[in-house]
Amino acid sequence: MNLVIDAGNTQIKLGVFSEGRLLHVETTVEDSFTDRIKSLFNSYPGIGHAILASVGHLEKCYTDALTVFCPVHVVGARTRLPYRNSYATTQTLGADRMALATAAFYRFHKENCLVIDAGSCITYDFVNDYGEFLGGAISPGLKMRYRALNAFTARLPLLEPEEPLDLVGNATVSSMHSGVVNGLLFELDGVIDQYKSRYSDLTVILTGGDAQFLSNRLKNTIFALPNFLLEGLNQLLEYNKS
């Protein structure tokens, strides 16, 4: 069994895999990390390896705690990748994007695949039909856009994401919802359309914390796979065991 850990900017996602099958998934926060790890090892004593991908600032003491239970692979510049990596600055490529590209490479082998991760940031990662990771794009995530409107203006309130009632907002709050949500949807559909015009037979994956909120509102056909990153981490761990 493998324990996979995705330490993002706002939460930590934990998954337990056995022979490629996801048995358990949960989310936690840094303060509860050690307790949840102990609980998982008690519940799944067959866990023999772990992998950690961190894009946040998980304290080293927490990662060190993992080594008490089993060997731990921390995703980084020395991680071996199953695909050809054509990213120009490989040392700055995020562990999350490495894992997403891995999942795309294995699940959609010999296909053009665009993975969109809708989390704190929106990341676009493209693996072509030759198994080559070319890169993609990074833009502000849904909640970050709301926070920016509040932080960089004097009077706009901080709102939680909400579906706009209409394209035309008739008040400040409804105008903000229309601008943020519709603006992001226009971006997503526009980016997908651009990739489709350049690459034939494109498969599009939407994952991340805001995937469910966004998926049914896009005009393009996509696959919504909430645990795609965990899947890629498990595959990276298996690939780096040998």
Query: Which of 14, 47, 74 is at the close of a domain?
Result: 74
The answer on 23 and 122 residing in a single domain is no
According to the annotation, is 88 in a ligand binding site? no
According to the annotation, is 37 in a ligand binding site? no
From the list 96, 129, 166, 189, the catalytic residue is 96
pLDDT given for residue 59 in this prediction: 64
Structural contact between residues 120 and 10, judged by C-beta atoms closer than 8 angstroms:
yes
Give the residues of the chain that fall short of pLDDT 70: 56-59
Cα angle 50-53-56, degrees, rounded to a multiple of 5: 135
Q: Any catalytic annotation for residue 166? A: no
Query: Which of 29, 50, 74 is at the close of a domain?
Result: 74
pLDDT given for residue 55 in this prediction: 82
The answer on 99 and 187 residing in a single domain is yes
pLDDT given for residue 60 in this prediction: 74
Starting at the edge strand that comes first in sequence, how are the strands of the sheet with 121-127 ordered? Answer: 84-85, 132-140, 121-127, 112-118, 202-207, 223-224
pLDDT given for residue 98 in this prediction: 97
pLDDT given for residue 30 in this prediction: 86
* Residue 237 within any structural domain of the chain: no
Residues in Cβ contact with 239 at an 8 Å cutoff, skipping those fewer than 6 apart: 80, 81, 82, 102
Structural contact between residues 142 and 184, judged by C-beta atoms closer than 8 angstroms:
yes
pLDDT given for residue 164 in this prediction: 96
The answer on 93 and 65 residing in a single domain is no
pLDDT given for residue 45 in this prediction: 96
Note the pLDDT tens digit of each residue in 47-96: 999 999 988 666 677 778 889 999 999 999 899 999 999 999 999 999 99
According to the annotation, is 129 in a ligand binding site? no
pLDDT given for residue 10 in this prediction: 82
* Residue 79 within any structural domain of the chain: no
Range of the domain at 18: 2-74
- Helix (H), strand (E), coil (C) string for the chain: CEEEEEECCCCEEEEEEECCEEEEEEEECHHHHHHHHHHHHHHCCCCCEEEEEECCCCCHHHHHHHCCCCCEEECCCCCCCCCEECCCCHHHCCHHHHHHHHHHHHHCCCCEEEEEEECCEEEEEEECCCCEEEEEEEEECHHHHHHHHHHCCCCCCCCCCCCCCCCCCCCHHHHHHHHHHHHHHHHHHHHHHHHHHHCCCEEEEEECCCHHHHHCCCCCCCEECCCHHHHHHHHHHHHHHC
According to the annotation, is 120 in a ligand binding site? yes
* Residue 133 within any structural domain of the chain: yes
* Residue 156 within any structural domain of the chain: yes
Overall domain count for the chain: 2
According to the annotation, is 194 in a ligand binding site? no
According to the annotation, is 210 in a ligand binding site? no
